[in-house]
């Protein structure tokens, strides 16, 4: 029977304490991400009995309800119809994020900025894979017009990534998104010397005299952190301007002030410093993954799911985006895939051991998204609550990640992992990528199957409770 999003939305709302307790609602690929006025009104146990809900967990100051790909959009639409969409409700001054740690606030900020951008990167990555399949897989020779059109499809998003980031950052920090688009376009304006042309000595930077010094200015193609900073800065400037600009002049002066001072402070003064910091971080990450014996892959493949528990894995997204934009390849992708395959293998072992048909069916629904590259349902609904399967899944990720590093494979794009990610390896590393998945999956499956057993005395009361409720 098809799940009814309206019924599920009603049940989820009741478990969250009712419509009046909802402060903010957003969603990602598989989960509702909810913030409440009063957390004490939450009924965690109620989620276990809602058909269509695959799990619940609390992370980075948000109550996250796992619904699965596609279905989460339908349930979120029900929240929108009730006027509960993000940004439509207000909280009292002084409440909200004050109880979150700095790290939680930082990771949530990165998540809120990059989650809206990820679908574009996934689509672009798959288009890269399709082109690779045609050229390298089937030996198709593309004519010049078709090749150029394919490059428009595959290269535009990464070339103009600052535009997407400043738009999303402006929206996140409460500014006007259209001003964020304008600022992002200014960062990659054709009038400015191309950053890569300057780096390779094919162009000279624009020199701006300032206090006896010449400030070198270039475009910020493929830059991420400067775009985030520009979005934050512009939102602050716009809010400040609206406090002092008369309402009759607001339409004219506020955008003017925002763009002018954001460009001066962001592109000319602070932006280059942020760009230097970004380059330093990226260089460090690249060095880490080039450690001998695949050590970087072992550490990342085994540890990334621990970061996912806290939400800190979102801080990796800017690095992978910049890596692809600069080099055309993503070294982290196959290692992250190994981590997901590890969790999937452990969950499959748990499912095979599960004797209750209803529980086994619900678990199976949670493991399917893992093969599409989405790890949260299988991790939070199956492995993490049982502890050992989660650790064995991390073991599989470490083994697979080390293998990926030793093989030296990389994706020709980013955003897609597991089975959808196969397209990113058509041009090279296809079979090695499959081998990494199989090794990670087999390692965690065998470790879990032979070293983990559920205790019947723990599960039995739950079975009785289920029967009595039926």
- For 270-304, the DSSP string reads IHHHHHHHHHHHHHHHHHHHT-GGGHHHHHHHHHH
pLDDT at 167: 95
As a whole number of angstroms, the distance between CA 98 and CA 21 comes to: 18
Q: Which residue's entry shows tokens 């030296």?
A: 408
Residue 98 pLDDT > 60: no
pLDDT at 447: 96
b/e 8-18 (16+ beta carbons within 10 angstroms → b): bbebbbebbbe
pLDDT at 470: 35
Q: Can 394 be counted among the known catalytic residues? A: no
Maximum CA pair distance of the chain? Answer: 82
Percent of the chain whose pLDDT exceeds 70: 89
- Are 47 and 53 in contact, with CB atoms under 8 Å apart? yes
350-409 tens-digit pLDDT: 999 888 776 777 777 778 888 988 887 788 878 888 889 999 999 999 999 999 999 999
Residues 65-82, mean pLDDT to the nearest whole number: 85
Residue 88 pLDDT > 50: no
165 vs 197, more confident: 165
91 vs 451, more confident: 451
Q: Which of 183, 372, 151, 379 is nearest to 271 (CA)?
A: 183
pLDDT at 220: 82
221-249 tens-digit pLDDT: 777 888 889 999 999 999 999 999 998 88
Assign residue 60 a region (left: φ > 0; alpha: ψ between -120 and 50; beta: otherwise).
Answer: left
pLDDT at 259: 93
Residues 205-232, mean pLDDT to the nearest whole number: 83
Q: Which two tokens stand for residue 78?
A: 């029900």
pLDDT at 457: 40
At residue 2 the predicted structure's pLDDT band, cuts being 50, 70 and 90, is low
Q: Which residues contact 268 (CB under 8 A, 6 or more apart)?
A: 208, 210, 215, 217
pLDDT at 253: 93
Q: Which residues contact 113 (CB under 8 A, 6 or more apart)?
A: 165, 168, 169, 172, 228, 231
Question: CA separation (Å) from 391 to 183, 230, 258, 444, 448?
Answer: 44, 40, 49, 9, 9
Annotated catalytic residue, options 8, 22, 28, 32: 28
The overall average pLDDT reported for the chain is 82
Measured N-to-C along each axis, helices 161-172 and 177-187 cross at an angle, to the nearest 10 degrees, of 150
24 vs 348, more confident: 348
pLDDT at 455: 66
pLDDT at 315: 65
Residue 442 pLDDT > 90: yes
Residues 285-304, mean pLDDT to the nearest whole number: 88
- Are 347 and 359 in contact, with CB atoms under 8 Å apart? no
At residue 99 the predicted structure's pLDDT band, cuts being 50, 70 and 90, is low
- Domain topology for 5-100: Gyrase A; domain 2 (3.30.1360)
12-71 tens-digit pLDDT: 999 999 988 998 888 877 788 898 999 889 998 888 788 888 778 887 678 888 887 778
pLDDT at 86: 54
| 213-217 and 31-36 beta bridge pairing | unpaired
Residue 1 pLDDT > 80: no
At residue 459 the predicted structure's pLDDT band, cuts being 50, 70 and 90, is very low
DSSP per-residue string spanning 16-65: TT-GGGEEEEEE-SSEEEEEES-GGG--GGGGGG-TT--EEEEETTEEEE
The segment with the largest mean pLDDT, out of 150-159, 285-294, 317-326, 337-346, is: 337-346
pLDDT at 404: 95
Residue 199 pLDDT > 70: no
Q: Where are the domains of the chain?
A: 5-100, 160-287, 292-469
171-188 tens-digit pLDDT: 999 899 999 999 999 988
Neighbouring C-beta atoms of residue 370, cutoff 10 Å:
28
Q: What angle do CA 268, 271, 273 make, to 5 degrees?
A: 110
Residues 180-208, mean pLDDT to the nearest whole number: 84
Cα 132 to the center of its chain, rounded Å: 24
């Amino acid at each position: 029977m098809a799940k009814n999003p309206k019924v599920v939305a009603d049940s989820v709302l009741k478990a969250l304490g009712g419509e009046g307790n909802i402060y903010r609602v957003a969603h990602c690929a598989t989960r509702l991400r909810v913030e409440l006025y009063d957390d004490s009104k939450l009924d965690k146990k109620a989620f276990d009995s809602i058909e269509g809900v695959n799990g619940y967990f609390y992370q980075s100051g948000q109550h996250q309800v796992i619904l699965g790909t596609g279905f989460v959009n339908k349930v979120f639409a029900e929240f929108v119809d009730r006027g509960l969409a993000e940004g439509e409700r207000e909280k009292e001054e002084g409440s909200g994020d004050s109880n979150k740690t700095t790290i939680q606030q930082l990771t949530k900020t990165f998540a809120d900025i990059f989650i809206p951008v990820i679908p574009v990167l996934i689509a672009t990555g798959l288009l890269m894979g399709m082109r690779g399949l045609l050229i390298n897989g089937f030996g198709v020779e593309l004519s010049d017009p078709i090749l150029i059109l394919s490059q428009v499809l595959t290269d535009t998003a990464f070339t103009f990534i600052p535009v997407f980031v400043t738009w999303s950052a402006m929206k996140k920090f409460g500014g006007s998104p259209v001003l964020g688009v304008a600022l992002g376009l200014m960062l990659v304006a054709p009038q400015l010397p191309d950053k890569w042309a300057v780096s390779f000595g094919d162009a000279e930077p624009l020199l701006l005299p300032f206090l006896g010094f010449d400030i070198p200015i270039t475009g910020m193609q493929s830059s991420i952190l400067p775009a985030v900073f520009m979005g934050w800065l512009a939102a602050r400037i716009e809010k400040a301007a609206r406090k002092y600009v008369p309402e009759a002049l607001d339409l004219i002066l506020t955008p003017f002030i925002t763009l002018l001072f954001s460009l001066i402070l962001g592109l000319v003064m602070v932006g280059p410093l942020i760009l230097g910091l970004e380059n330093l971080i990226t260089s460090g990450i690249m060095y880490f993954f080039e450690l001998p014996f695949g050590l970087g892959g072992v550490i990342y493949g085994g540890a990334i799911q621990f970061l996912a528990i806290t939400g800190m894995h979102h801080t990796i997204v800017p690095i992978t985006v910049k890596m692809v934009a600069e080099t055309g390849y993503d070294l982290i992708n196959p290692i992250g895939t190994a981590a997901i395959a590890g969790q999937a293998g452990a969950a499959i072992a748990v499912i095979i051991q599960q004797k209750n048909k209803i529980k086994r069916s619900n678990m199976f629904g949670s493991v399917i998204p893992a093969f599409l590259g989405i790890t949260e349902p299988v991790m939070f609904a199956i492995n993490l609550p049982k502890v050992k399967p989660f650790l064995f899944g991390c073991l599989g990720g470490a083994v697979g990640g080390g293998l990926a590093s030793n093989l030296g494979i990389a994706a020709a794009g980013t955003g897609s992992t597991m089975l959808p990610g196969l397209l990113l390896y058509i041009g090279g590393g296809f079979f090695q990528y499959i081998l990494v998945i199989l090794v990670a999956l087999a390692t965690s499956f065998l470790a879990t199957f032979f070293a983990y057993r559920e205790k019947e005395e723990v599960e039995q009361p739950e079975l009785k409770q289920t029967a009595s409720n039926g």
